[in-house]
Amino acid sequence: MDSLEEVNWGIIGCGNVTELKSGPAFNKVEHSSLVAVMRRNASLAEDYSKRHHVAKFYSDADDLINDPDVNAVYVATPPDTHAMYAIQVMKAGKPVYVEKPMARTYAECQEMIRVSEETGMPLFVAYYRRTLPAFLKVKELLETGVIGKPLTVNIQLYRAFGERDRFPEKQTWHVKPEISGAGHFYDLASHQFDFLDFVFGPITEVYGIATNVAGYYVPEDTVSAVFGFEYGVTGTGSWSFVVDKLAEKDSIEILGTEGSIQFPCYDKGDVILKTDGKIKELNFVNPENISYHLVKQVVGALRKENECVSTMYSASRTNWVMEEIVKSFYKKIT
């Protein structure tokens, strides 16, 4: 694909994730503008366009994709339409930036990659933790050998179930596997596994057990896994989305031969470095629009100024890992 001098974005699916996390960033990055938005509910699309000062709004994705003023598209719909819209955009000759997880299944990810390679249209995925200050500091600490040789990593993510999860009529797409691919695990563990891929390389071996204990919804609510990375680091993880409120926890801990690093993936908190018998707490501030740094990288990549750290290849690996962890559970219930 030839470089784009100015990147004029259209958003398919201007829902909550685009209000603050991502949407405004497209107008804040140099050589980038948000020129059109689409939502199936025309009045909601119009409301978004007025509040965010976007010139055009649509209720049909085809109209946005084929708009000659739009030369790149951000797909921010639920995962069941990521592959469909991304493929449609790329076949229309436009690059695409898609929300995470990349798709519902690893097979859908592979088809998206195939179309990208066939059309020459770039495909990026919104794993923005690869560009946030705290996570970049963790990567730097590992690369400079502050904790010696990394040995193992442990993920713990426990969340109390929400009121919406109690009642089928109030449940969101996050617990509807036909839309999300699985349950809350796919939505939240995806950022964790993607970041670990960023610092340690691909996971090449993974085993998991997924169960539904509380029975509030169809997909898994509690998950355990063990995994190994390409270069020898091992890992374990446990997730539950139905714990008591006082049991909530968000921690990734990396142990090395000379120390450890601990940090949250979602909650506000410091990076805690333990080495030489000392504990150091490192504090970082995220941008107002948390996707800003990654959007900036994507724009730079489309202008042929830099590479982007979040690619379709790395994102598809995360889908493969999660699918391997929960596959035995879904074989039992389908």
Query: What's the chain look like in SS3?
Result: CCCCCCEEEEEECCCHHHHCCCCCHHHHCCCEEEEEEECCCHHHHHHHHHHCCCCEEECCHHHHHCCCCCCEEEECCCHHHHHHHHHHHHHCCCCEEECCCCCCCHHHHHHHHHHHHHHCCCEEECCHHHHCHHHHHHHHHHHCCCCCCEEEEEEEEEEECCHHHHCHHHCCHHHCHHHHCCCHHHHHHHHHHHHHHHHHCCEEEEEEEEECCCCCCCCCCEEEEEEEECCCCEEEEEEEEEECHHHCEEEEEEEECCEEEEECCCCCCCEEEEECCEEEEECCCCCCCCCHHHHHHHHHHHCCCCCCCCEHHHHHHHHHHHHHHHHHHHHHHC
Number of domains making up the chain: 2
Instruction: Judge whether 97 lies within some domain.
Output: yes
pLDDT at 167: 83
Same domain as 209, residue 268: yes
pLDDT at 161: 87
pLDDT at 334: 81
Instruction: Judge whether 309 lies within some domain.
Output: no
Give the C-alpha separation, 322 to 317, whole Å. 9
pLDDT at 165: 86
Same domain as 148, residue 43: no
Same domain as 205, residue 106: no
Same domain as 175, residue 83: no
Q: What is the CATH number of the domain that holds 161?
A: 3.30.360.10
Same domain as 108, residue 202: no
Same domain as 250, residue 138: yes
Give the C-alpha separation, 265 to 268, whole Å. 8
- Parent domain of 296: 7-127+290-303
**Cβ contacts of residue 306 below 8 Å, gap of 6+?**
297, 300
Instruction: Judge whether 310 lies within some domain.
Output: no
Same domain as 215, residue 92: no
Same domain as 296, residue 226: no
Q: What is the CATH number of the domain that holds 29?
A: 3.40.50.720
Instruction: Judge whether 249 lies within some domain.
Output: yes
pLDDT at 160: 95
Same domain as 138, residue 57: no
Instruction: Judge whether 277 lies within some domain.
Output: yes
Instruction: Judge whether 313 lies within some domain.
Output: no
Per-run averaged pLDDT (10 residues), the chain, 334 residues: 96 95 97 98 97 98 98 98 98 98 98 98 98 98 98 98 84 96 98 98 98 96 98 97 97 98 97 97 97 98 98 98 98 90
Instruction: Judge whether 314 lies within some domain.
Output: no
Sign of CA dihedral 285, 240, 317, 138: positive
Same domain as 227, residue 273: yes
Same domain as 280, residue 295: no
Whether the pTM exceeds 0.95: the reply is yes
Same domain as 204, residue 65: no
Instruction: Judge whether 77 lies within some domain.
Output: yes
